[in-house]
Amino acid sequence: MIEEQTSPKKKGGRKGKTSGKEESLSNETKKPKITRIPPYEPGQTQPFPLSRSKVSNFLQCPRCFYLDVRHKISPPSGPILTLNGAVDKLLKTEFGLLRQTQQPHPELVRAGVSAVPFQHPDLAIWRDNRKGARFLHQPTGFEIYGAIDDLLMDPATDKIHVIDFKCTAKQQDVTSLEGDYAPILKRQIEFYAFILKKMGLDVSETAYFFYSNGCADRPGFHGRLDFRISVVPHQCDTSWIEPTLRQIKDVLEAPKAPEPSEKCGHCKYLAKAKELGP
């Protein structure tokens, strides 16, 4: 199947029963049969699945995105960060337990956030990399989607907050988003907030990054890695998303690939290598 369509149901609310819910949901997400998404065809009328990461790729280099989405020539991928994946999985388990008792995570409480893990029958689908939270953007025909880490609900406001788990190893505590990757991380969480809002959820502008910061300042490894946790709030600005989707549509409908990005030297390298000959 092409990335399966999911239809969001009405929110279950934090007061709903949780017993057995996660279990039955895991059955829904079992045995996914994956078929690669076919290349985008200019003028196509059927919805085209467009992931959060593809949108991010477009913003980094429209040419690379075009080669990938129109011609299925994918950029080389990096190694899979299995340690990050392990932390992510454990945190999901931790938040899952707190969801059952509707308790806030102690690290969030320490950061002054009293929101609790959100309960919804479709949560497992929204967190599934092969499915994700989805919304059909009518003006472009893109079925945009992304897999969230988790959602919180503030009992005082009933607003939903997107939370994203990040893993790093820095000397200093992470108290803000800085550096080259900051815009990418911000756009990631903003994209999720945008989709969920469009799906009809009452999503707050305030999202949270839950940082696990590996401590390299211990006297040895001894088979154990400690983490310092910090919670970094982010005020989502989703105003860039609609114009970006329209730009993507224009690029995909164009007969020629866009120019290479000035920031990436690979295309220049290849062109120069070709010019010099064998």
Q: By the criterion CB under 6 A, which residues form the site for ligand SF4?
A: 61, 63-64, 75, 260-261, 264, 266-267
76 versus 243: smaller Cβ distance to ligand SF4: 76
| Min separation Cβ 183 and ligand SF4, Å | 16
Strand runs labelled E in the chain: 48-51, 116-117, 133-137, 142-146, 150-153, 160-168, 206-214, 227-235
Please tell me whether residue 170 adopts helix, strand or coil conformation.
Answer: coil
| Min separation Cβ 255 and ligand SF4, Å | 17
| Min separation Cβ 144 and ligand SF4, Å | 22
* Residues 66 and 57 sit within 8 Å (Cβ to Cβ): no
121 versus 260: smaller Cβ distance to ligand SF4: 260
| Min separation Cβ 191 and ligand SF4, Å | 20
Task: Look up residue 174 and give its two tokens.
Answer: 């992470």
89 versus 266: smaller Cβ distance to ligand SF4: 266
| Min separation Cβ 262 and ligand SF4, Å | 8
216 versus 271: smaller Cβ distance to ligand SF4: 271
Give the whole-angstrom CA distance, residue 230 versus residue 114: 15
Please tell me whether residue 172 adopts helix, strand or coil conformation.
Answer: coil
217 versus 262: smaller Cβ distance to ligand SF4: 262
57 versus 213: smaller Cβ distance to ligand SF4: 57
Q: Between the CA of residue 174 and those of 30, 89, 166, 219, 265, what are the distances in Å?
A: 36, 21, 10, 22, 30
DSSP 8-state code for residue 174: -
| Min separation Cβ 64 and ligand SF4, Å | 3
Burial class (CB in 10 A: 0-12, 13-18, 19+), 192: buried
| Min separation Cβ 57 and ligand SF4, Å | 8
60 versus 206: smaller Cβ distance to ligand SF4: 60
Give the whole-angstrom CA distance, residue 252 versus residue 257: 8
Task: Look up residue 79 and give its two tokens.
Answer: 């190694």
Q: Which residue is nearest to ligand SF4 (CB)?
A: 264
